[in-house]
């Protein structure tokens, strides 16, 4: 084992020594390790005193752990800069080529560099945390709960891993540090949002929620590492020489993937769409499983968030709940475009979210209605409406079209994420995104839009009547 990773350790050692000799890296790390925690100690002392003076003890209680998290985060933010320098910089200076001609495996180089760019900021973060803890203990007598300390240590590590693995992905797509820095906003902005969310958690005081953050970050880091390894290879690193925006090439790639050799709409359906749907069958299967899972989650949520007894009475629903629905525009022809537009908006939003999260957020969005259906199905079942009747009345008439549409759209979003995480040989991220977007467009234009139109018609015109008939028979 050690023998197999020895080359990676050699690479890491060289990089570490190199960093130690670079004052531009060492100076900020030293400041963030020794001076910044002291400033945070001072801030904690003053703010706790201030908060207590005005009876805001809870703010004071939450402030110290919050600053503990901040002290850990600041030094690891340097890891992003070091990573961009290490990966994109070495590519730009051409010093990576002799390494690529050596017997090093791609993953040796990746792992060695990953370790080297993470170690100094992490050591700095942990030393900073220690300095801060000693300071707050001496000045305020505060000690961290071991569980909180472990959470912060783990959180700091996975945040660094996410930033560095994200930086590698960015670096593989550029030929200069400048370009990599520009693309780094794709890492900085989400991390800024994450920090805000974590700050809310810290002031909320529900520290267990941090484990969910850690879990989510581990998942994202795993996908980023997978993408990084997929793209951090000799072919990609030296095969690309320019960062040129080539719109014509992008259009050609899209058209090639979307239209292929098809002639006419019929031919396109028979060859292109069918081929893409066949390729998407694993995604469809996964979506179907998640679909069932979403119902399960909905059912489970009824225990966590129960509806007070008596609030929802099935008898009322049976007798008067649906009366006068014909008066509502939504349940007439006018409702068809409204419902269709709403569903399409969800699909497009899911796609956009999926683009930035390997499909994860997009899938969560499109599955949300199924969680809600699962929730209400079980709630109504508990109130006396059999589950089959609920489905037959409220879901199935339009669901016959809508559920396949959502499964198809979800599988297209999943495929986009999968293609990013596991690129085809010799395919850049840009090409992968364009081709998977073309596949998405094929599925959406060829099947999802027509299915959603049919579903909207059914939902406006048929479902309410079926529901009325079933509930009042």
**Which chain residues interact with other proteins by CB under 8 A?**
7, 10-11, 14, 17-18, 21-22, 93-105, 234-235, 238-239, 249, 425-426
Report how far residue 103's alpha carbon sits from residue 100's, in angstroms, rounded to the nearest whole number.
8
Q: Report in angstroms how near the CB of residue 16 gets to other proteins at its nearest.
A: 12
Report how far residue 67's alpha carbon sits from residue 382's, in angstroms, rounded to the nearest whole number.
46
Q: Report in angstroms how near the CB of residue 237 gets to other proteins at its nearest.
A: 8
Q: Report in angstroms how near the CB of residue 101 gets to other proteins at its nearest.
A: 4
Nearer to other proteins, 17 or 182 (CB): 17
Task: Tell me the H-state helices in 205-280.
Answer: 209-231, 234-239, 247-259, 264-267, 274-279
CA distances from 161 to 166, 220, 224, 315 (A): 8, 10, 9, 55
Nearer to other proteins, 97 or 243 (CB): 97
Nearer to other proteins, 6 or 138 (CB): 6
Q: Report in angstroms how near the CB of residue 94 gets to other proteins at its nearest.
A: 2
Q: Report in angstroms how near the CB of residue 108 gets to other proteins at its nearest.
A: 9
Q: Report in angstroms how near the CB of residue 452 gets to other proteins at its nearest.
A: 36
Q: Report in angstroms how near the CB of residue 160 gets to other proteins at its nearest.
A: 24
- Check if the beta carbon of residue 390 is closer than 8 Å to that of residue 314: no
Provide long-range contacts, Cβ within 8 A and 24+ apart, for 208-211.
Answer: 210/151, 210/152, 210/155, 211/151
Q: Report in angstroms how near the CB of residue 168 gets to other proteins at its nearest.
A: 19
Nearer to other proteins, 383 or 430 (CB): 430
Nearer to other proteins, 23 or 54 (CB): 23
Torsion from C-alpha of 299, 301, 306, 310, nearest 10 degrees = -30
Nearer to other proteins, 3 or 327 (CB): 3
Contacts of 117 (CB under 8 A, 6+ apart): 15, 79, 82, 83, 86, 164, 167
- Locate 90 and state its tokens: 């070495």
Sign of CA dihedral 157, 158, 164, 167: negative
- Check if the beta carbon of residue 392 is closer than 8 Å to that of residue 416: no
- Check if the beta carbon of residue 198 is closer than 8 Å to that of residue 213: yes
Nearer to other proteins, 239 or 386 (CB): 239
Q: Report in angstroms how near the CB of residue 232 gets to other proteins at its nearest.
A: 13
Nearer to other proteins, 172 or 411 (CB): 172
Nearer to other proteins, 212 or 249 (CB): 249
Nearer to other proteins, 239 or 384 (CB): 239
Burial class of residue 316 (count of CB atoms within 10 Å of its CB; 0-12, 13-18, 19+): exposed
Report how far residue 331's alpha carbon sits from residue 216's, in angstroms, rounded to the nearest whole number.
40
Report how far residue 215's alpha carbon sits from residue 225's, in angstroms, rounded to the nearest whole number.
15
The vertex-188 CA angle with 183 and 194, nearest 5°, equals 145
Q: Which of 414, 426, 465 is nearest to 280 (CA)?
A: 414
Q: Report in angstroms how near the CB of residue 61 gets to other proteins at its nearest.
A: 47
């Amino acid at each position: 084992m050690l023998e197999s990773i020895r080359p990676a350790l050699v690479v890491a050692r060289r990089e570490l020594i190199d960093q130690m000799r670079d004052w531009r890296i060492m100076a900020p790390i030293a400041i963030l390790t020794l001076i910044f925690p002291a400033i945070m100690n001072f801030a904690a002392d003053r703010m706790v005193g201030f908060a207590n003076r005005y009876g805001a003890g809870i703010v004071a209680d939450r402030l110290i752990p919050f600053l503990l998290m901040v002290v850990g985060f600041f030094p690891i933010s340097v890891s992003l800069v070091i990573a961009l320098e290490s990966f994109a910089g070495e590519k730009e200076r051409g010093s990576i080529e002799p390494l690529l001609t050596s017997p090093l495996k791609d993953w040796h180089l990746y792992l060695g560099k990953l370790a080297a760019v993470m170690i100094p900021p992490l050591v700095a973060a942990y030393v900073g945390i220690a300095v801060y803890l000693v300071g707050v203990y001496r000045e305020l007598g505060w000690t961290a709960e071991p569980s909180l300390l472990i959470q912060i240590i783990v959180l700091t590590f996975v945040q660094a891993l996410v930033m560095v693995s994200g930086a590698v992905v960015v670096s593989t797509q550029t030929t200069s540090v400048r370009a990599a820095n520009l693309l780094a906003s794709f890492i900085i902005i989400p991390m800024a949002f994450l920090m805000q969310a974590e700050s809310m958690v810290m002031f909320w005081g529900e520290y267990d929620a941090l484990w969910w953050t850690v879990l989510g970050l581990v998942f994202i880091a795993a996908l980023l590492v997978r993408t990084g390894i997929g793209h951090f290879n000799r072919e990609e690193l030296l095969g690309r020489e320019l960062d040129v925006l080539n719109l014509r090439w992008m259009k050609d790639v899209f058209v090639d993937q979307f239209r292929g050799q098809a002639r006419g709409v019929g031919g396109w359906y028979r060859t292109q769409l069918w081929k893409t749907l066949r390729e998407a069958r694993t995604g469809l299967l996964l979506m179907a499983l998640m679909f069932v899972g979403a119902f399960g989650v909905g059912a489970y949520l009824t225990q966590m968030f129960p509806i007070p007894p008596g609030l929802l009475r099935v008898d009322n629903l049976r007798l008067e709940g649906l009366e006068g629905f014909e008066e509502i525009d939504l349940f007439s022809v006018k409702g068809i475009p409204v419902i269709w537009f709403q569903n399409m908006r969800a699909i497009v939003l899911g796609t956009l979210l999926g683009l930035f999260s390997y499909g994860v957020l997009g899938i969560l969005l499109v599955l949300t209605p199924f969680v809600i259906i699962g929730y209400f199905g079980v709630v109504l079942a508990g109130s006396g409406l059999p589950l089959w009747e609920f489905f037959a009345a409220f879901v199935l008439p339009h669901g016959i079209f809508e559920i396949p549409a959502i499964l198809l759209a979800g599988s297209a979003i999943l495929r986009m994420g999968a293609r990013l995480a596991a690129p085809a040989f010799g395919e850049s991220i840009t090409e992968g995104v364009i081709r998977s977007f073309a596949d998405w467009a094929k599925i959406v234009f060829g099947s999802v839009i027509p299915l959603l139109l049919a579903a909207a018609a059914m939902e406006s015109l048929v479902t309410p009547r079926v529901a009325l008939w079933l509930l009042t028979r």
